[in-house]
A and B are shown apart, each in its own frame.
Chain A
Amino acid sequence: MPAVLYAAGFQAGRDAHPMTVGTGFAARIMEPVATTFFFYLLSGLAVLGGVLVITRKNAVHSALALILTLLALAGLYLMLYAPFVAGVQIILYAGGIMVLFLFVIMLVNLEHSEKEDQFNHQWVAGVLAAAALSGLFLATYVTGRALFPQRVLQLPEQSNTQSVAVLLYGNYMFSFEIASLLLLVAIIGAVVMAKKRI
Protein backbone atom coordinates (compact mmCIF):
# COMPACT_ATOMS: atom_id res chain seq x y z
CA MET A 1 0.00 0.00 0.00
CA PRO A 2 2.69 2.56 0.81
CA ALA A 3 4.28 1.65 -2.48
CA VAL A 4 1.14 2.48 -4.38
CA LEU A 5 0.73 5.59 -2.36
CA TYR A 6 4.24 6.58 -3.03
CA ALA A 7 3.87 5.98 -6.70
CA ALA A 8 0.67 7.93 -6.71
CA GLY A 9 2.23 10.85 -4.93
CA PHE A 10 5.19 10.75 -7.20
CA GLN A 11 3.13 10.72 -10.35
CA ALA A 12 0.62 13.24 -9.17
CA GLY A 13 3.36 15.57 -8.09
CA ARG A 14 4.92 15.41 -11.46
CA ASP A 15 1.68 16.40 -13.07
CA ALA A 16 0.89 19.13 -10.60
CA HIS A 17 3.73 21.03 -12.03
CA PRO A 18 2.34 23.34 -14.71
CA MET A 19 5.10 22.50 -17.14
CA THR A 20 4.64 18.75 -17.01
CA VAL A 21 2.49 17.08 -19.58
CA GLY A 22 0.66 13.93 -18.64
CA THR A 23 2.22 10.78 -19.94
CA GLY A 24 -0.91 9.29 -21.35
CA PHE A 25 -4.64 9.11 -21.28
CA ALA A 26 -4.75 6.77 -18.32
CA ALA A 27 -2.30 8.91 -16.46
CA ARG A 28 -4.38 12.03 -16.98
CA ILE A 29 -7.48 10.35 -15.66
CA MET A 30 -5.96 8.48 -12.77
CA GLU A 31 -3.59 10.86 -11.16
CA PRO A 32 -5.91 13.48 -9.70
CA VAL A 33 -8.23 10.72 -8.57
CA ALA A 34 -5.42 8.87 -6.86
CA THR A 35 -4.10 11.97 -5.15
CA THR A 36 -7.51 13.12 -4.03
CA PHE A 37 -8.49 9.67 -2.91
CA PHE A 38 -5.37 9.11 -0.87
CA PHE A 39 -5.46 12.60 0.57
CA TYR A 40 -9.02 12.20 1.83
CA LEU A 41 -8.41 8.64 3.00
CA LEU A 42 -5.30 9.54 4.97
CA SER A 43 -6.57 12.77 6.41
CA GLY A 44 -9.82 11.04 7.31
CA LEU A 45 -7.85 8.35 9.13
CA ALA A 46 -5.73 10.98 10.85
CA VAL A 47 -8.72 12.94 12.10
CA LEU A 48 -10.52 9.74 13.10
CA GLY A 49 -7.46 8.72 15.07
CA GLY A 50 -7.35 12.12 16.70
CA VAL A 51 -10.99 11.88 17.76
CA LEU A 52 -10.42 8.42 19.18
CA VAL A 53 -7.36 9.62 21.10
CA ILE A 54 -9.33 12.15 23.07
CA THR A 55 -12.45 10.07 23.57
CA ARG A 56 -11.27 6.58 24.51
CA LYS A 57 -11.47 5.59 28.16
CA ASN A 58 -8.65 3.11 27.92
CA ALA A 59 -5.26 4.72 27.52
CA VAL A 60 -3.97 1.83 25.43
CA HIS A 61 -6.78 2.34 22.94
CA SER A 62 -5.91 6.02 22.85
CA ALA A 63 -2.30 5.19 22.15
CA LEU A 64 -3.26 2.83 19.35
CA ALA A 65 -5.49 5.52 17.85
CA LEU A 66 -2.57 7.92 18.05
CA ILE A 67 -0.43 5.42 16.18
CA LEU A 68 -3.08 5.36 13.47
CA THR A 69 -2.90 9.14 13.25
CA LEU A 70 0.88 9.10 13.12
CA LEU A 71 0.99 6.53 10.34
CA ALA A 72 -1.63 8.42 8.35
CA LEU A 73 0.42 11.58 8.75
CA ALA A 74 3.50 9.72 7.54
CA GLY A 75 1.49 8.87 4.42
CA LEU A 76 0.59 12.54 4.00
CA TYR A 77 4.26 13.47 4.29
CA LEU A 78 5.04 11.03 1.51
CA MET A 79 2.45 12.77 -0.63
CA LEU A 80 4.09 16.09 0.22
CA TYR A 81 7.49 14.95 -1.13
CA ALA A 82 8.97 14.67 2.31
CA PRO A 83 9.99 11.01 2.38
CA PHE A 84 12.72 11.62 4.91
CA VAL A 85 10.36 13.24 7.38
CA ALA A 86 7.94 10.38 6.76
CA GLY A 87 10.65 7.86 7.55
CA VAL A 88 11.65 9.73 10.67
CA GLN A 89 8.02 9.95 11.65
CA ILE A 90 7.62 6.19 11.40
CA ILE A 91 10.88 5.19 13.02
CA LEU A 92 10.91 7.79 15.79
CA TYR A 93 7.31 8.59 16.49
CA ALA A 94 5.49 5.35 15.83
CA GLY A 95 8.39 3.04 16.58
CA GLY A 96 10.01 4.94 19.43
CA ILE A 97 7.85 7.43 21.26
CA MET A 98 4.68 5.35 21.06
CA VAL A 99 6.48 2.27 22.36
CA LEU A 100 7.57 4.41 25.27
CA PHE A 101 3.97 5.46 25.84
CA LEU A 102 2.67 1.91 25.69
CA PHE A 103 5.45 0.76 27.97
CA VAL A 104 4.53 3.33 30.58
CA ILE A 105 0.83 2.60 30.27
CA MET A 106 1.53 -1.05 30.93
CA LEU A 107 3.80 -0.26 33.86
CA VAL A 108 1.30 2.14 35.38
CA ASN A 109 -1.76 -0.02 35.65
CA LEU A 110 -4.62 2.26 34.73
CA GLU A 111 -7.49 -0.11 35.37
CA HIS A 112 -9.06 1.87 38.16
CA SER A 113 -8.72 5.17 36.35
CA GLU A 114 -10.91 3.74 33.61
CA LYS A 115 -13.82 3.55 35.97
CA GLU A 116 -13.46 7.12 37.13
CA ASP A 117 -14.69 10.30 35.59
CA GLN A 118 -12.85 10.77 32.32
CA PHE A 119 -13.25 14.54 31.98
CA ASN A 120 -12.26 17.19 34.44
CA HIS A 121 -14.52 19.79 35.97
CA GLN A 122 -13.60 22.56 33.59
CA TRP A 123 -14.43 20.56 30.50
CA VAL A 124 -17.11 23.05 29.46
CA ALA A 125 -14.61 25.87 29.58
CA GLY A 126 -12.13 23.76 27.72
CA VAL A 127 -14.55 22.94 24.93
CA LEU A 128 -15.56 26.59 24.72
CA ALA A 129 -11.95 27.63 24.38
CA ALA A 130 -11.41 25.06 21.69
CA ALA A 131 -14.55 26.27 19.94
CA ALA A 132 -13.24 29.83 20.06
CA LEU A 133 -9.98 28.63 18.60
CA SER A 134 -11.72 26.81 15.80
CA GLY A 135 -13.76 29.94 15.16
CA LEU A 136 -10.54 31.83 14.81
CA PHE A 137 -9.21 29.26 12.39
CA LEU A 138 -12.40 29.40 10.41
CA ALA A 139 -12.26 33.15 10.21
CA THR A 140 -8.67 33.00 9.04
CA TYR A 141 -9.62 30.42 6.47
CA VAL A 142 -12.49 32.46 5.09
CA THR A 143 -10.60 35.74 4.93
CA GLY A 144 -7.18 34.44 4.04
CA ARG A 145 -8.01 31.80 1.49
CA ALA A 146 -7.86 34.18 -1.41
CA LEU A 147 -4.45 35.44 -0.38
CA PHE A 148 -3.01 31.96 -0.49
CA PRO A 149 -0.52 31.29 -3.28
CA GLN A 150 -1.79 28.68 -5.73
CA ARG A 151 1.38 27.35 -7.22
CA VAL A 152 3.67 24.92 -5.46
CA LEU A 153 7.38 24.42 -5.67
CA GLN A 154 8.60 21.37 -7.54
CA LEU A 155 10.82 19.82 -4.93
CA PRO A 156 13.44 17.39 -6.19
CA GLU A 157 11.99 14.27 -4.63
CA GLN A 158 14.87 11.92 -5.36
CA SER A 159 17.40 14.05 -3.52
CA ASN A 160 15.15 14.99 -0.64
CA THR A 161 17.36 13.33 1.95
CA GLN A 162 20.40 15.13 0.62
CA SER A 163 18.76 18.55 0.70
CA VAL A 164 17.47 17.98 4.23
CA ALA A 165 20.94 16.88 5.29
CA VAL A 166 22.61 19.89 3.69
CA LEU A 167 20.30 22.23 5.58
CA LEU A 168 20.54 20.26 8.80
CA TYR A 169 24.33 20.18 8.86
CA GLY A 170 24.74 23.57 7.20
CA ASN A 171 22.31 26.34 8.02
CA TYR A 172 20.90 24.69 11.12
CA MET A 173 24.10 23.24 12.53
CA PHE A 174 23.81 25.16 15.76
CA SER A 175 20.18 24.22 16.31
CA PHE A 176 21.10 20.63 15.59
CA GLU A 177 23.68 20.68 18.36
CA ILE A 178 21.22 22.34 20.70
CA ALA A 179 18.72 19.59 19.91
CA SER A 180 21.27 16.94 20.82
CA LEU A 181 21.88 18.76 24.08
CA LEU A 182 18.15 18.83 24.68
CA LEU A 183 17.99 15.09 24.18
CA LEU A 184 20.85 14.59 26.60
CA VAL A 185 19.05 16.66 29.21
CA ALA A 186 15.89 14.68 28.56
CA ILE A 187 17.70 11.37 29.00
CA ILE A 188 19.20 12.44 32.30
CA GLY A 189 15.90 13.93 33.43
CA ALA A 190 13.94 10.82 32.57
CA VAL A 191 16.41 8.56 34.34
CA VAL A 192 16.43 10.72 37.45
CA MET A 193 12.66 10.90 37.51
CA ALA A 194 11.95 7.24 36.91
CA LYS A 195 14.66 5.63 38.97
CA LYS A 196 13.64 4.44 42.38
CA ARG A 197 16.94 4.93 44.14
CA ILE A 198 19.83 6.81 42.64
Chain B
Amino acid sequence: MTDQMTTDPSRLSHLELGEPAKTYLDSNELVINMGPQHPATHGVLRVILKLDGEKVLGTECVIGYLHRGVEKIAEHRTYSMFNPYVDRMDYVAAVSNGLGYCEAVEKLLNVQAPPRANYIRVILTELNRLASHMLWLGTHALDIGAITPLFYTFRDREEILKIFEKYCGARLTTHAFRIGGCLYETYDGFEDDVKKFHKFVTPKIDEYEELLTTNRIWVERTKGVGAISAKDCIALGVTGPVLRASGVKWDLRKAQPYAAYSEFDFEIPTCANGDTYDRYLVRMQEMRQSLRIIEQAVGKIPDGPIMAKVPKVMKPPVGEIYHSIEAPKGELGYFIVSDGSTQPYRVRVRPPSFVNLQALELMVRGHLVADVVAVIGTLDIVLGEVDR
Protein backbone atom coordinates (compact mmCIF):
# COMPACT_ATOMS: atom_id res chain seq x y z
CA MET B 1 0.00 0.00 0.00
CA THR B 2 2.74 2.40 0.90
CA ASP B 3 4.41 1.90 -2.44
CA GLN B 4 1.32 3.34 -4.10
CA MET B 5 1.85 6.48 -2.12
CA THR B 6 3.85 8.91 -4.10
CA THR B 7 4.11 12.62 -4.21
CA ASP B 8 4.66 12.96 -7.93
CA PRO B 9 1.40 14.49 -9.12
CA SER B 10 2.29 14.28 -12.79
CA ARG B 11 2.32 10.53 -12.56
CA LEU B 12 -0.71 10.38 -10.40
CA SER B 13 -3.00 12.42 -12.56
CA HIS B 14 -3.15 9.46 -14.90
CA LEU B 15 -3.72 6.86 -12.32
CA GLU B 16 -3.23 3.18 -12.27
CA LEU B 17 -6.91 3.32 -11.40
CA GLY B 18 -7.58 3.55 -15.10
CA GLU B 19 -9.54 5.89 -17.29
CA PRO B 20 -12.83 7.28 -16.01
CA ALA B 21 -15.47 4.68 -16.54
CA LYS B 22 -17.96 4.87 -19.34
CA THR B 23 -20.96 3.92 -17.30
CA TYR B 24 -22.04 4.16 -13.72
CA LEU B 25 -23.19 0.58 -13.55
CA ASP B 26 -21.52 -1.91 -11.29
CA SER B 27 -19.72 -3.47 -14.19
CA ASN B 28 -17.70 -0.29 -14.48
CA GLU B 29 -16.25 2.02 -11.94
CA LEU B 30 -16.59 5.69 -11.41
CA VAL B 31 -13.51 7.68 -10.52
CA ILE B 32 -14.09 10.79 -8.47
CA ASN B 33 -11.71 13.45 -7.30
CA MET B 34 -12.43 14.35 -3.74
CA GLY B 35 -10.49 17.53 -3.26
CA PRO B 36 -8.15 19.35 -3.31
CA GLN B 37 -11.00 21.83 -3.01
CA HIS B 38 -13.55 19.95 -1.01
CA PRO B 39 -15.23 20.92 2.23
CA ALA B 40 -14.49 17.66 3.98
CA THR B 41 -10.85 16.97 3.25
CA HIS B 42 -9.60 19.33 5.95
CA GLY B 43 -7.45 21.43 3.73
CA VAL B 44 -5.99 20.60 0.40
CA LEU B 45 -5.91 16.85 0.46
CA ARG B 46 -6.92 15.25 -2.77
CA VAL B 47 -8.36 11.78 -2.53
CA ILE B 48 -8.98 9.92 -5.73
CA LEU B 49 -11.84 7.55 -5.14
CA LYS B 50 -12.61 4.57 -7.27
CA LEU B 51 -16.28 3.94 -6.72
CA ASP B 52 -18.75 1.24 -7.52
CA GLY B 53 -21.94 3.21 -7.12
CA GLU B 54 -21.46 4.47 -3.61
CA LYS B 55 -19.04 1.75 -2.57
CA VAL B 56 -15.36 2.58 -2.38
CA LEU B 57 -13.17 0.15 -4.30
CA GLY B 58 -9.93 1.99 -3.74
CA THR B 59 -8.49 5.31 -2.77
CA GLU B 60 -5.34 7.18 -3.50
CA CYS B 61 -4.21 10.24 -1.62
CA VAL B 62 -2.50 12.96 -3.56
CA ILE B 63 -0.62 15.24 -1.23
CA GLY B 64 1.76 18.11 -1.58
CA TYR B 65 -0.61 20.96 -2.26
CA LEU B 66 0.59 22.66 0.90
CA HIS B 67 4.26 21.78 0.55
CA ARG B 68 6.48 24.63 1.70
CA GLY B 69 9.76 22.82 2.11
CA VAL B 70 9.96 23.26 5.86
CA GLU B 71 12.68 20.66 6.21
CA LYS B 72 14.80 22.25 3.53
CA ILE B 73 14.40 25.70 5.05
CA ALA B 74 15.90 24.32 8.27
CA GLU B 75 19.22 23.76 6.51
CA HIS B 76 19.59 27.48 5.90
CA ARG B 77 18.52 28.77 9.31
CA THR B 78 20.22 28.68 12.64
CA TYR B 79 18.74 26.42 15.26
CA SER B 80 16.85 29.18 17.01
CA MET B 81 15.77 30.82 13.76
CA PHE B 82 14.10 27.60 12.65
CA ASN B 83 12.03 27.38 15.80
CA PRO B 84 9.06 29.47 14.55
CA TYR B 85 8.84 27.45 11.34
CA VAL B 86 7.80 24.29 13.13
CA ASP B 87 4.68 26.06 14.39
CA ARG B 88 3.49 26.22 10.80
CA MET B 89 3.41 22.47 10.35
CA ASP B 90 0.61 21.34 12.60
CA TYR B 91 -0.89 24.76 12.99
CA VAL B 92 -3.66 23.63 15.31
CA ALA B 93 -1.10 22.19 17.74
CA ALA B 94 1.74 24.64 17.35
CA VAL B 95 2.82 24.42 20.96
CA SER B 96 3.43 20.67 20.71
CA ASN B 97 5.52 21.16 17.59
CA GLY B 98 7.64 23.75 19.31
CA LEU B 99 8.09 21.56 22.36
CA GLY B 100 9.31 18.65 20.26
CA TYR B 101 11.80 20.76 18.37
CA CYS B 102 13.12 22.56 21.42
CA GLU B 103 13.60 19.33 23.33
CA ALA B 104 15.36 17.71 20.39
CA VAL B 105 17.83 20.57 20.11
CA GLU B 106 18.28 20.63 23.87
CA LYS B 107 19.14 16.95 23.73
CA LEU B 108 21.62 17.69 20.98
CA LEU B 109 23.15 20.54 22.99
CA ASN B 110 23.00 18.44 26.13
CA VAL B 111 21.04 21.10 28.00
CA GLN B 112 18.26 20.55 30.52
CA ALA B 113 15.33 22.94 30.71
CA PRO B 114 14.71 24.07 34.31
CA PRO B 115 11.76 22.49 36.17
CA ARG B 116 9.66 25.64 36.14
CA ALA B 117 9.99 25.83 32.37
CA ASN B 118 9.03 22.17 32.12
CA TYR B 119 5.87 22.75 34.11
CA ILE B 120 4.87 25.69 31.95
CA ARG B 121 5.60 23.58 28.92
CA VAL B 122 3.39 20.78 30.16
CA ILE B 123 0.50 23.09 30.95
CA LEU B 124 0.63 24.84 27.61
CA THR B 125 1.09 21.62 25.68
CA GLU B 126 -1.86 19.98 27.36
CA LEU B 127 -3.97 23.07 26.76
CA ASN B 128 -2.95 22.81 23.16
CA ARG B 129 -3.91 19.14 23.09
CA LEU B 130 -7.34 20.16 24.29
CA ALA B 131 -7.57 22.83 21.63
CA SER B 132 -6.52 20.40 18.94
CA HIS B 133 -8.99 17.75 20.07
CA MET B 134 -11.76 20.34 20.23
CA LEU B 135 -11.06 21.42 16.69
CA TRP B 136 -11.03 17.80 15.65
CA LEU B 137 -14.33 17.11 17.36
CA GLY B 138 -16.04 20.08 15.79
CA THR B 139 -14.90 19.40 12.25
CA HIS B 140 -15.39 15.66 12.54
CA ALA B 141 -18.96 16.14 13.73
CA LEU B 142 -19.51 18.66 10.95
CA ASP B 143 -18.32 16.14 8.39
CA ILE B 144 -20.80 13.61 9.70
CA GLY B 145 -23.51 16.23 9.54
CA ALA B 146 -23.89 17.51 13.08
CA ILE B 147 -23.27 21.21 12.79
CA THR B 148 -23.84 22.29 16.36
CA PRO B 149 -20.78 20.74 18.11
CA LEU B 150 -18.53 22.84 15.89
CA PHE B 151 -19.73 26.04 17.48
CA TYR B 152 -19.60 24.62 20.97
CA THR B 153 -16.02 23.49 20.58
CA PHE B 154 -14.94 26.73 18.98
CA ARG B 155 -16.48 28.64 21.83
CA ASP B 156 -14.39 26.67 24.31
CA ARG B 157 -11.25 26.59 22.21
CA GLU B 158 -11.41 30.35 22.23
CA GLU B 159 -10.73 30.34 25.97
CA ILE B 160 -7.53 28.34 25.42
CA LEU B 161 -6.41 30.68 22.68
CA LYS B 162 -7.02 33.61 24.99
CA ILE B 163 -4.65 32.09 27.52
CA PHE B 164 -2.05 31.60 24.78
CA GLU B 165 -2.49 35.15 23.66
CA LYS B 166 -2.03 36.48 27.14
CA TYR B 167 1.02 34.32 27.63
CA CYS B 168 2.95 34.94 24.44
CA GLY B 169 0.95 37.34 22.32
CA ALA B 170 0.02 34.86 19.61
CA ARG B 171 -3.03 32.68 19.37
CA LEU B 172 -2.30 30.10 16.75
CA THR B 173 1.37 29.95 15.82
CA THR B 174 2.53 30.65 19.30
CA HIS B 175 6.31 30.17 19.28
CA ALA B 176 5.89 29.80 23.02
CA PHE B 177 9.08 27.93 23.85
CA ARG B 178 12.74 28.60 23.22
CA ILE B 179 15.63 26.21 23.11
CA GLY B 180 16.58 25.80 26.75
CA GLY B 181 13.29 26.72 28.33
CA CYS B 182 10.69 29.40 27.94
CA LEU B 183 11.29 33.00 26.99
CA TYR B 184 8.34 34.45 28.83
CA GLU B 185 7.59 34.27 32.49
CA THR B 186 3.95 33.48 33.23
CA TYR B 187 1.84 36.58 33.42
CA ASP B 188 0.04 37.63 36.57
CA GLY B 189 -3.05 35.54 37.05
CA PHE B 190 -1.89 32.79 34.68
CA GLU B 191 -2.61 30.10 37.23
CA ASP B 192 -6.01 31.55 38.04
CA ASP B 193 -6.85 31.71 34.36
CA VAL B 194 -5.92 28.09 33.88
CA LYS B 195 -7.84 27.03 36.95
CA LYS B 196 -10.84 28.99 35.82
CA PHE B 197 -10.60 27.42 32.41
CA HIS B 198 -10.41 24.00 33.99
CA LYS B 199 -13.57 24.65 35.91
CA PHE B 200 -15.25 26.10 32.84
CA VAL B 201 -14.44 23.36 30.39
CA THR B 202 -15.07 20.23 32.44
CA PRO B 203 -18.88 20.44 32.15
CA LYS B 204 -18.50 21.46 28.50
CA ILE B 205 -16.92 18.14 27.65
CA ASP B 206 -19.92 16.45 29.24
CA GLU B 207 -22.01 18.67 26.99
CA TYR B 208 -20.28 17.42 23.85
CA GLU B 209 -20.68 13.85 24.98
CA GLU B 210 -24.34 14.46 25.69
CA LEU B 211 -24.81 15.65 22.14
CA LEU B 212 -23.01 12.80 20.48
CA THR B 213 -22.01 9.76 22.52
CA THR B 214 -25.43 8.18 22.73
CA ASN B 215 -26.92 9.87 19.68
CA ARG B 216 -28.31 7.01 17.61
CA ILE B 217 -27.37 8.47 14.28
CA TRP B 218 -23.89 9.30 15.51
CA VAL B 219 -23.36 5.78 16.80
CA GLU B 220 -24.70 4.25 13.60
CA ARG B 221 -22.50 6.46 11.51
CA THR B 222 -19.33 5.73 13.45
CA LYS B 223 -19.56 2.20 14.90
CA GLY B 224 -17.77 -0.31 12.72
CA VAL B 225 -16.67 2.37 10.28
CA GLY B 226 -13.02 2.46 9.33
CA ALA B 227 -12.00 -0.26 11.74
CA ILE B 228 -8.30 -1.03 11.87
CA SER B 229 -6.62 -3.75 13.89
CA ALA B 230 -3.74 -3.23 16.27
CA LYS B 231 -1.52 -5.33 14.03
CA ASP B 232 -2.23 -3.18 11.00
CA CYS B 233 -1.70 -0.05 13.03
CA ILE B 234 1.74 -1.17 14.11
CA ALA B 235 2.62 -2.37 10.63
CA LEU B 236 1.74 1.02 9.19
CA GLY B 237 3.37 2.97 11.99
CA VAL B 238 0.10 4.56 12.99
CA THR B 239 0.32 6.28 16.34
CA GLY B 240 -1.68 8.42 18.68
CA PRO B 241 -5.37 8.05 19.45
CA VAL B 242 -5.83 5.90 16.35
CA LEU B 243 -3.40 3.34 17.72
CA ARG B 244 -4.81 3.52 21.22
CA ALA B 245 -8.35 3.02 19.96
CA SER B 246 -7.20 -0.28 18.47
CA GLY B 247 -6.18 -1.47 21.91
CA VAL B 248 -2.45 -0.71 22.06
CA LYS B 249 -1.57 1.10 25.25
CA TRP B 250 1.20 3.25 23.81
CA ASP B 251 1.67 6.84 24.82
CA LEU B 252 5.07 8.51 24.70
CA ARG B 253 4.18 10.57 27.75
CA LYS B 254 4.26 7.31 29.69
CA ALA B 255 6.57 5.21 27.55
CA GLN B 256 9.47 7.65 27.46
CA PRO B 257 8.46 10.60 29.61
CA TYR B 258 9.71 13.99 28.52
CA ALA B 259 9.31 17.45 30.01
CA ALA B 260 7.71 16.92 33.41
CA TYR B 261 5.25 14.20 32.48
CA SER B 262 6.76 11.61 34.79
CA GLU B 263 5.57 13.65 37.75
CA PHE B 264 1.88 13.51 36.96
CA ASP B 265 -0.74 10.92 37.50
CA PHE B 266 -2.84 10.19 34.44
CA GLU B 267 -4.13 7.26 32.45
CA ILE B 268 -3.87 6.20 28.86
CA PRO B 269 -7.39 5.63 27.59
CA THR B 270 -7.71 2.73 25.17
CA CYS B 271 -10.52 0.94 23.36
CA ALA B 272 -10.72 -2.39 21.66
CA ASN B 273 -12.44 -2.19 18.28
CA GLY B 274 -10.41 0.45 16.52
CA ASP B 275 -13.40 1.93 14.70
CA THR B 276 -14.38 5.55 14.36
CA TYR B 277 -16.58 5.44 17.42
CA ASP B 278 -13.74 4.10 19.56
CA ARG B 279 -11.40 6.77 18.32
CA TYR B 280 -14.02 9.29 19.28
CA LEU B 281 -14.27 7.83 22.76
CA VAL B 282 -10.50 7.70 23.18
CA ARG B 283 -10.12 11.34 22.25
CA MET B 284 -12.92 12.38 24.56
CA GLN B 285 -11.20 10.51 27.39
CA GLU B 286 -7.90 12.07 26.46
CA MET B 287 -9.42 15.49 26.85
CA ARG B 288 -10.44 14.61 30.38
CA GLN B 289 -6.97 13.22 31.11
CA SER B 290 -5.39 16.39 29.80
CA LEU B 291 -7.54 18.37 32.15
CA ARG B 292 -6.34 16.11 34.94
CA ILE B 293 -2.71 16.80 34.10
CA ILE B 294 -3.37 20.53 33.90
CA GLU B 295 -5.06 20.49 37.26
CA GLN B 296 -2.12 18.73 38.86
CA ALA B 297 0.49 20.86 37.17
CA VAL B 298 -1.01 24.25 37.77
CA GLY B 299 -1.16 23.67 41.48
CA LYS B 300 2.54 23.05 41.93
CA ILE B 301 4.50 25.07 39.43
CA PRO B 302 7.92 25.28 41.10
CA ASP B 303 9.80 28.53 41.46
CA GLY B 304 13.09 29.14 39.78
CA PRO B 305 14.53 30.20 36.46
CA ILE B 306 12.67 29.54 33.25
CA MET B 307 15.68 29.43 30.98
CA ALA B 308 18.73 27.16 31.14
CA LYS B 309 22.14 28.47 30.27
CA VAL B 310 22.29 28.25 26.51
CA PRO B 311 25.06 29.83 24.44
CA LYS B 312 24.02 32.81 22.33
CA VAL B 313 25.44 31.16 19.22
CA MET B 314 24.40 27.55 19.23
CA LYS B 315 26.92 25.16 17.80
CA PRO B 316 25.88 21.66 18.79
CA PRO B 317 28.53 18.99 18.60
CA VAL B 318 28.69 16.84 15.48
CA GLY B 319 26.15 14.09 15.73
CA GLU B 320 22.55 13.18 15.23
CA ILE B 321 19.54 12.98 17.47
CA TYR B 322 16.00 11.62 17.26
CA HIS B 323 13.53 12.92 19.76
CA SER B 324 9.82 12.33 19.72
CA ILE B 325 6.91 13.52 21.77
CA GLU B 326 3.25 12.64 21.97
CA ALA B 327 1.58 15.32 19.92
CA PRO B 328 -2.25 15.42 19.92
CA LYS B 329 -2.27 13.45 16.69
CA GLY B 330 0.38 10.89 17.51
CA GLU B 331 4.12 10.53 17.64
CA LEU B 332 5.82 13.70 16.48
CA GLY B 333 9.53 13.06 15.98
CA TYR B 334 12.45 15.28 15.02
CA PHE B 335 15.60 13.78 13.56
CA ILE B 336 18.34 16.40 13.54
CA VAL B 337 21.82 15.94 12.09
CA SER B 338 24.41 18.44 13.19
CA ASP B 339 27.70 19.07 11.42
CA GLY B 340 28.96 21.26 14.20
CA SER B 341 27.99 24.53 12.49
CA THR B 342 25.30 26.99 13.54
CA GLN B 343 22.85 25.48 11.13
CA PRO B 344 21.50 21.94 11.16
CA TYR B 345 22.83 19.74 8.41
CA ARG B 346 19.46 18.07 8.03
CA VAL B 347 16.18 18.16 9.88
CA ARG B 348 13.69 15.43 9.26
CA VAL B 349 10.24 15.55 10.82
CA ARG B 350 8.17 12.49 11.49
CA PRO B 351 4.70 13.98 11.40
CA PRO B 352 1.91 11.87 12.87
CA SER B 353 -0.70 12.99 10.32
CA PHE B 354 1.43 11.93 7.37
CA VAL B 355 1.96 8.45 8.74
CA ASN B 356 -1.62 8.06 9.92
CA LEU B 357 -2.95 9.09 6.51
CA GLN B 358 -1.48 5.90 5.09
CA ALA B 359 -4.12 3.94 6.92
CA LEU B 360 -6.91 5.67 4.96
CA GLU B 361 -6.91 3.20 2.09
CA LEU B 362 -7.07 0.24 4.45
CA MET B 363 -9.81 1.81 6.52
CA VAL B 364 -12.22 2.87 3.81
CA ARG B 365 -11.99 0.11 1.25
CA GLY B 366 -15.39 -1.53 0.93
CA HIS B 367 -17.17 1.25 2.76
CA LEU B 368 -19.35 4.01 1.32
CA VAL B 369 -18.44 7.51 0.22
CA ALA B 370 -19.94 8.98 3.34
CA ASP B 371 -17.55 6.83 5.38
CA VAL B 372 -14.52 8.24 3.58
CA VAL B 373 -15.46 11.63 4.95
CA ALA B 374 -15.94 10.20 8.42
CA VAL B 375 -12.60 8.39 8.31
CA ILE B 376 -10.67 11.41 7.07
CA GLY B 377 -12.21 13.27 9.97
CA THR B 378 -11.36 10.59 12.49
CA LEU B 379 -7.74 10.35 11.39
CA ASP B 380 -7.45 13.97 12.44
CA ILE B 381 -4.99 15.04 9.79
CA VAL B 382 -3.63 18.51 9.30
CA LEU B 383 -2.40 19.09 5.81
CA GLY B 384 0.26 21.55 6.90
CA GLU B 385 1.88 18.69 8.69
CA VAL B 386 1.33 16.11 5.98
CA ASP B 387 2.89 18.23 3.28
CA ARG B 388 5.30 20.27 5.43
Contacts and interface: CB of A to CB of B under 8 A. Distances in A.
A145 interface: no
B26 A109 contact: no
A87 B78 CA distance: 80
Interface stretch (B17-25, B88-96, B121-129, B157-165): B17-25
Contacts of A109: 22-24
Interface string B19-59: 00011111100000000000000000000000000000000
Interface in A105-158: 106-109, 111-112
A112 B24 CA distance: 14
Contacts of A112: 22
A108 to B, nearest CB: 6
A108 B26 contact: no
State the main secondary structure of chain B at its contact with A: loop
B32 to A, nearest CB: 15
A106 B26 contact: no
Contacts of B23: 107-109
A144 B22 CA distance: 54
Interface string B65-86: 0000000000000000000000
A107 B26 CA distance: 9
Contacts of B26: 196
Contacts of A196: 26-27
A163 B116 CA distance: 91
A112 B22 CA distance: 9
B126 to A, nearest CB: 52
B246 to A, nearest CB: 32
Interface in A184-198: 196
B30 to A, nearest CB: 10
Interface of B: 22-27
Q: Which 7 A-B pairs have the closest CB atoms?
A: A109-B23, A196-B26, A107-B24, A107-B25, A109-B22, A108-B23, A109-B24
Given A107-B23, A109-B22, A196-B27, 10 more contacts: A106-B24, A107-B24, A107-B25, A108-B23, A108-B25, A109-B23, A109-B24, A111-B22, A112-B22, A196-B26
13 contacts: A106-B24, A107-B23, A107-B24, A107-B25, A108-B23, A108-B25, A109-B22, A109-B23, A109-B24, A111-B22, A112-B22, A196-B26, A196-B27
